[in-house]
Structure 1
Amino acid sequence: MHSRACFIAASNTACPTPPVAGGLLPPNTVNSLLAAVMAFVRYCEKHGWIDKVPPLEKLETRDVMKGRPITGEEFERMLKVTSKVVGHEYAQTWKFALQILWESGFRISEMIVNLLMIR
Structure 2
Amino acid sequence: MRGWTKVRRRNTSEALIGAVTGFLHRPEVLLLGRYDTTSRLRLVGKTTPLKPGAARDVAEHLTAEGPGHPWTGVRCATSWNSRIPLEPVLVGPGLVAEFSADVSQDHGVWRHPLR
TM-score, normalized by the shorter chain, greater than 0.5 = no
* TM-score (structure 2 length as normaliser): 0.22
Bigger CA radius of gyration = 1
Query: Which protein has greater RCO, CA pairs closer than 8 Å, 6+ apart?
Result: 2
